[in-house]
Structure 1
Amino acid sequence: MTLRNEAKLALVIGATGGVGGAVAERLLTAGWRVSALNRDPQTAERTRGRLGLQWVKGDAMVEADVVAAAEGASLVVHGANPPAYRNWAGLQAPMLNASIAAARSVGARLVFPGTVYNYGPDAFPDLTEASPQHPRTRKGAIRVQMEAALARASREDGLKVLIVRCGDFFGPKPGNNWLSQGLIKPGKPIAAVTYPGPPSIAHGWAYLPDVAETMVRLAEDGAGLADFEVFHMRGQALTGDELVAALETVAGRKLPVSRLPWLAVRAVAPFNETMREMLEMRYLWETPVLLDNAKLVARLGAEPHTPIVDALRAALEGLGALPQRPQALAA
């Protein structure tokens, strides 16, 4: 058994967020020591703290802070993401550059969550690791630039990189995702669903504990990975009808479904950055966008996969959107 002080150390940037938090928790259960960078570690530990995390004071935008926090780490997880789609152009590159510098300074592998934003319609419907990346949005162009920076650092400086690409994230904790910010209303029992696209079109979803399991299993197989590796997760490939049916199973009732009012979003977009950025993502709901996981399955044998009803039940519980059972109401 590995002693605690001999366990491998990982630095997680964005441990209060969805991806970073899920990976941090999975690393802890795998026996890693985990440092979590935060500008206000006392508040983070008090309000979002997770048992076993070592909170470190620092700013993900400040390279020196991230480099210092990475001392002794063999893994750096870049889970930082600007909230509500805001100011990607100003924030994404500095944060990633700081993580690259930190991982390079200690010879750690950098783990990065990829998105489907990198792709345009010429790559749809089935995305492989070799699919062309011709984004049609500003956010997509930024994500392509970020992955290009990772590839360049790997090629020129020997940085070890692991990119795991998934569909739309959702999980048991509130966060910046379509499920909690677009489809349902957190904080009260689910009573209706607002769906962004045609209900018959398949869409890729990624349950965060499955994503974390995949990332950790791949990272722990570091000796078998190339310096620069990209894997795609299939995740939960569901039509809108299938997703609603699963939500109804969890809710125990039929749910009225309405289409997201894109005309209203378009009207507000010039005055609201979040609405403007959401509008750019509309094309991802109008055609099937799925990920081919053949490479991942060949590596792991099978992709970690929680049944959709179980995943949605955990997500709704975490969002405070699970209807109370009759006996709970009676009590």
Structure 2
Amino acid sequence: MQTILGSGGAIGVELAKVLHQQYTKEIRLVSRNPEKVNPTDELFAADLSNAADVDAAVAGSEIVYVTIGFEYKLSVWREKWPTFIRLLIDVCARHKAKLVFFDNVYMYDPKEIPHMTEESKMNPSSEKGKVRHQLVDMIFEAVKAKRIKALIARSADFYGPGIGTSMLQETVYKNLQKDKTAQWIGGVNYKHSATYTPDAAQATALLGNTPDAYDQVWHLPTYPDPPTGKQWVALFADQMHKKAKVSAIPKFMLKILGWFIPILGEVYEMTYQYEQPYFFDSSKFMKRFPDFKITSYQEGVKEIVAQG
């Protein structure tokens, strides 16, 4: 049995498809209101803040994938993430289940953002980054103590068909759909990597089912030549037959807008990622899995537009 905790999100759905197609028909989908992705999926409704529910959800699992997304709010992250990971480590240890944790780049030192690798220094400047750093430390402390086998599958900002949690798609694609000017946080002339969600899911499944991939961090495959903010807008505009108009959202404006649109206030502390080049290096993964085909940015944008 391979189990996905947080199965209804952008990564969870794609991951379920890949696991069913390539690895196993025994898949358990866990969330508050799980829905089948494949005909043979086992559905398990659970409150993942409840210890008994988490224990029951993991029981009988060989591999547990964590793709859950708590509300993007600092107070929620501080309250829920450490408690959940501490509980999950205990449960995985009890049931001898391997842990695959889907992660982001928030814990890296801001100076590492222009070229991030698995060896980049962890020294977050943001409060959300400090929470993510804590989770990484918790997982690898358990690994070092030989309590669990675990790996971290780390993604850059992501984009992909049919998702509503991509800042890129929210500020560029959706604005262009409405014949509005695309918006970009920070500098429009900085290159900015993004991981395509179907690629991320396929790679996460591959890592989870590769025994020697455990007990380390992996950057998920991400196309190596990222566009600038302006070029991202041009890619979408070209596929949508729209004018490539873009305006930069200055940092101070995010704070003001955050009074009315809370999510923008939450993004404020992460703007350092948009005020410099942002390059996510996945060469470690490609050296280990040289036959993996990464979707180009042009192909990814074309698929998003085609699926609406």
1:50 to 37, 43, 52: 37
Alignment of 1:209-288 (within 5 A): 209-222=198-211, 224-226=212-214, 228-233=215-220, 235-236=222-223, 237-269=226-258, 273-288=262-277
Q: Distance in 2 between matches of 1:12 and 1:190?
A: 38
Please give the per-residue CA displacement for 1:157-188, whole angstroms capped at 9, x wherever unaligned: 43111112121011112232212333332795
Alignment of 1:183-198 (within 5 A): 183-185=172-174, 188=177, 192-198=181-187
- Specify whether residues 98 and 173 from structure 1 end up closer, same or farther in structure 2 by C-alpha distance, changes over 3 A only: farther
- Specify whether residues 182 and 105 from structure 1 end up closer, same or farther in structure 2 by C-alpha distance, changes over 3 A only: farther
Matched to 1:310, the amino acid is E
Matched to 1:235, the amino acid is T
Q: Distance in 1 between matches of 2:101 and 2:80?
A: 16
CA contact (8 A) 1:198 1:285 kept: yes
CA contact (8 A) 1:250 1:312 kept: yes
Instruction: Tell me, yes or no, if structure 1 residue 77 matches structure 2 residue 77.
Output: no
Please give the per-residue CA displacement for 1:182-229, whole angstroms capped at 9, x wherever unaligned: 33327956654211132221111011100011111122211x234x11
- Specify whether residues 233 and 11 from structure 1 end up closer, same or farther in structure 2 by C-alpha distance, changes over 3 A only: closer
- Specify whether residues 271 and 88 from structure 1 end up closer, same or farther in structure 2 by C-alpha distance, changes over 3 A only: farther
What is the aligned partner in structure 2 of residue 36 from structure 1? 29
Matched to 1:59, the amino acid is D
Alignment of 1:20-169 (within 5 A): 20-32=12-24, 33-40=26-33, 44-45=34-35, 49-52=36-39, 53-85=41-73, 87-169=76-158
Where 1:127 maps in the other structure, the secondary structure is: coil
Gaps spanning 5+ residues in structure 2: where?
none
Q: How many residues align?
A: 303
What is the aligned partner in structure 2 of residue 327 from structure 1? none
- Specify whether residues 15 and 186 from structure 1 end up closer, same or farther in structure 2 by C-alpha distance, changes over 3 A only: farther
Matched to 1:77, the amino acid is Y
Where 1:68 maps in the other structure, the secondary structure is: helix
Gaps spanning 5+ residues in structure 1: where?
1-8, 321-331
Where 1:179 maps in the other structure, the secondary structure is: helix
Q: Which runs of 4+ in 1 moved over 4 A?
A: 186-191, 270-273
CA contact (8 A) 1:11 1:36 kept: yes
1:153 Cα deviation (Å)? Answer: 1.2
Q: Distance in 2 between matches of 1:189 and 1:267?
A: 23
- Specify whether residues 229 and 171 from structure 1 end up closer, same or farther in structure 2 by C-alpha distance, changes over 3 A only: same
CA contact (8 A) 1:137 1:280 kept: yes
Instruction: Output the aligned Cα RMSD.
Output: 2.3
Where 2:277 maps in the other structure, the secondary structure is: coil
Q: Distance in 1 between matches of 2:220 and 2:292?
A: 7
1:104 Cα deviation (Å)? Answer: 1.9
TM-score by length of 2: 0.90
- Specify whether residues 231 and 317 from structure 1 end up closer, same or farther in structure 2 by C-alpha distance, changes over 3 A only: same
What is the aligned partner in structure 2 of residue 172 from structure 1? 161
Q: Distance in 2 between matches of 1:83 and 1:38?
A: 14
